[in-house]
Chain A
Amino acid sequence: MEDKTQTDFFEDSLKKFSDFIKISFKDLIRLTHNEKKVFLDLYYNRVTELNKMQSILKNIRNRGDNILILGHAGTGKSSFMYKVFFEIGNLPDYNLYPLIVDFRDGNKFHLYKHFIEKMEKYFSDINCPIPKLITNNETNFKENISLLRTHLANIDEKCFTKHLIILLDDFDYLDEDDLFDVLEDFQGFGIHRHATLVLSARPALYTAIKEYDNRLIKTFTREIHKIKLVRLDINKLISRRLAGIIIENKSKSWFKKITHKESDYIRLLKKMGISEINDIENITIPFTGLYLNFISNITNHNNREIFDIVHDSLIYVRKNFEILESISEKNEDGETHSRKNITKEQTLELFYDNDDSLFRIININKNINKKGNSLLFNLLEGVKLYKELNRTFTEQMNFLGHKEKEIIWGIKKLKLNNLISPTKIVPNRYEERIDLYPEFSITDKGDYYLTNICYWEEYINRCGHFGVSIHNNLIV
């Protein structure tokens, strides 16, 4: 019975299927084009975090505590920020005034310009308009920021009918040189009793602020409320995102709103026995548990990459539905579902040999030295073992036959592919107190390559053997 419904699900043409999945897995903010209603309908999970945020916001008035939202790349920080931004509108009793400042388009001037305009609107909304603001251009926006700060400081207490909430998003993408300047500019607002800063940050940015200057530490990392966004369960993530778009009824036609086309999927969905939004979790994904584990590790739990890899895999399953071996697995509730087993060989065919795939598995054993050892593999091991790229690390690499120039190149390459990540951001001009040796930590993705993929026979056949492992050749 299960197989039959799944066959129905995959019966449409391949291209249509691909387009549909692409739309389903798009970035939620871009997908909904800032349309509040559609966004709120499609947003899911994070109930615990939202409740925590709501309880903080309830008591925040007249206290001005700042909030930090912490999470790894692709855990959904931006979506969470937008959710909070839209949700505040539904809480009229709290008397809050949210404004969002994001670095999405990558232009520092735009960031300031939008912020100044929004603040101007805030002041006029609370009946205290700011009188002498200069027209914004790329040289004088700092003066305007200073004028805004002074105006905020001089406003009478009685005028603050609404508590200001400034949401700072995507600051991880700021240049290392500009980062602390921008944060210092916004810090001036966070000190006010009637204003709250909400900053979203990755762990690297958090550590950088923590070790930078006591004034910034106080505002952004010490005397704050912290909300940590944990990684979502991949199974729920995929099924709910797919179903969220598919499920439509007369009042909520998301697919039509997003694509301006009528959707064919209601018919398919009815065949699967789903007509209500509460049935979302009943959708079965044709991947085995092991394959889902592979997806979550190889992508570093990054939602954007997860969606890429799932897109390719779903199309692969759709294409080879008859050929693939079926396995029945039990889910959390004890119900048995049939899944399609994608083998290691097929995975590599899909993501290593295939140039068209959105996600690629890289060749770690490409650079082999004279001794027959793989540079990137040994560097990954070294970073996992030593964390700090100190003298012992370099000596160990030299012992395995890697030269210093190669090590510098290799570290850059690993960083680029997200196999290792720096433990903190260090600005270029940060000469005096710079640590003697740079520190890195291995990511889940790097660890998966190191402990899993490099030992796959299929991978060795394609990329060659890594040579000698560091553990058998440690300098004592």
Chain B
Amino acid sequence: MKKLSITTTFELEVNEICELFLMNNKNCIKIIEILISLRYKNPISYNKIGYIVVKNAFVKLFPIHKNNRKNTSYFKISKRQIKYNKDNCELIIKPISLLKLNTYGLENYFE
């Protein structure tokens, strides 16, 4: 049986942000960076969501040994895992070429 990775639209958003980071040559990410991006795009839904919720979703999407450690602030993302997540996702996903930095307020972040 296929192992599902992305099951909710929230996880879809997290995966998308990680993909944007990876496209801009960053393979490490802080949870707070994801949280800020999420709140920028959709403050109405995600204003009350906290650190732990995002972290749990992130660890589910990227089950890498480094991410399960207790005292880590930088979490690892990988191209292979993102591809796996998207392949096993049953939701309809927007294609990569339509991803934009300014939807998450990240256009000045990578300068």
Contact = CB atoms under 8 A, between A and B. Distances in A.
A218 interface: yes
Interface in B6-45: 9, 12-13, 39-45
A429 interface: yes
A150 B97 contact: no
Contact of A217 (B40, B41, B92, B98): B92
A160 to B, nearest CB: 13
B88 interface: no
Contacts of A26: none
Contacts of B41: 188
A259 interface: no
B105 interface: yes
B91 interface: yes
Interface in A407-456: 427, 429-433
B47 A215 contact: no
B52 interface: no
Contacts of A215: 9, 12-13
A430 B44 contact: no
Contact of B97 (A212, A218, A429): A429
Contacts of A192: 44
Contact of B43 (A150, A214, A218, A433): A150
Interface residues of B, number: 23
Contacts of A432: 95-97
Interface in B33-89: 39-45, 47
Contact of A211 (B91, B92, B98): B92
Contacts of A427: 98
Interface string A337-368: 00000000000000000000000000000000
A181 B105 contact: no
A390 B97 CA distance: 26
Interface in A98-146: 142, 146
A240 B13 CA distance: 51
Q: Which has the most chain A C-beta neighbours within 10 Å: B13, B39, B40, B42?
A: B42
B98 A152 contact: no
A184 B41 CA distance: 9
A189 B42 CA distance: 9
A430 B95 contact: yes
B108 to A, nearest CB: 11
Contact of B12 (A149, A184, A191, A214): A214
B105 A153 contact: no
Contacts of B13: 215
B9 A180 contact: no
B27 to A, nearest CB: 22
A188 B9 CA distance: 14
Contacts of B93: 213-214
Given A153-B43, A153-B47, A192-B44, A430 B12 contact: no
A473 interface: no
A217 B92 CA distance: 9
Contacts of B9: 214-215, 218
Contacts of A51: none
B47 A154 contact: yes
A8 to B, nearest CB: 62
Contact of A213 (B39, B94, B105): B94
A235 B110 CA distance: 62
B106 to A, nearest CB: 12
A430 B43 contact: no
Nearest to A147: B43
Contacts of B102: 142
Nearest to B43: A153
A210 B104 CA distance: 23
Nearest to B98: A429
B91 A430 contact: no
Nearest to A177: B98
A146 B105 contact: yes
Given A213-B94, A214-B93, 9 more contacts: A153-B44, A154-B43, A154-B47, A181-B103, A184-B103, A191-B45, A217-B92, A431-B95, A432-B97
23 contacts: A146-B105, A149-B42, A149-B44, A150-B39, A150-B43, A152-B43, A154-B43, A154-B47, A180-B98, A188-B43, A188-B44, A189-B44, A192-B44, A212-B92, A214-B92, A217-B92, A427-B98, A429-B95, A429-B98, A430-B95, A430-B98, A431-B95, A432-B97
* 5 residue pairs, one from A and one from B, having the closest CB atoms: A153-B43, A214-B91, A213-B94, A432-B95, A153-B44
Interface of A: 142, 146, 149-150, 152-154, 180-181, 184, 188-189, 191-192, 211-215, 217-218, 427, 429-433
Interface of B: 9, 12-13, 39-45, 47, 91-98, 100, 102-103, 105
